[in-house]
Amino acid sequence: MNSYRKELLFNVPTRRAFLNITPQVEDCLRESGVREGLCLVNAMHITSSVFINDDESGLHHDYEVWLERLAPHEPVASYRHNRTGEDNADAHMKRQIMGREVVVAITGGKLDFGPWEQIFYGEFDGGRRKRALVKIIGE
């Protein structure tokens, strides 16, 4: 069994964004040499997310609207967490909704996706350097 680990780095200048990281994960898979196994990708920050869905701009807009309805950024004073001097309580909640990680099967040296599936990094409190972990195990 082989094991591979790499951290992907992101600098998202906006507060929120969805980045398609599928190409970077595919690069990691090639580097790993694994042909059959599993690929884990997880956000290494509690205000960001990794998820799988379609790379369609309308869907991304709908996510933005839906998440803001569920956990609005303003008013920041409405969150107890923000009394610590932070202003990112909504980002923690958005991360909880969108998820921390994904696991994708590797078959024949490829990510074994269904139609239209792509891996995304969701940023909910940008403006500083962030990381996601790629961990690949298999043969």
CATH code for the domain in which residue 131 is found: 2.60.120.460
Tell me: the pLDDT tens digits for 22-43? 999 999 999 999 999 999 999 9
Quick one: pLDDT at residue 103?
A: 98
Low-confidence ranges of the chain (pLDDT < 50): none
Residue 61: predicted pLDDT: 97
**Sign of the torsion angle spanned by Cα atoms 88, 91, 93, 61:** positive
- What is the tally of structural domains in the chain? 1
For residue 37, the cross-strand partners are: 106, 138
Q: Which residues contact 111 (CB under 8 A, 6 or more apart)?
A: 22, 25, 26, 29, 39, 104, 105, 119
pLDDT at 106: 98
Model pTM? 0.95
Q: By the 8 A CB rule, do 31 and 4 touch?
A: yes
**What is the extent of the structural domain holding 52?**
2-138
Whole-number Å distance between alpha carbons of 112 and 109: 9
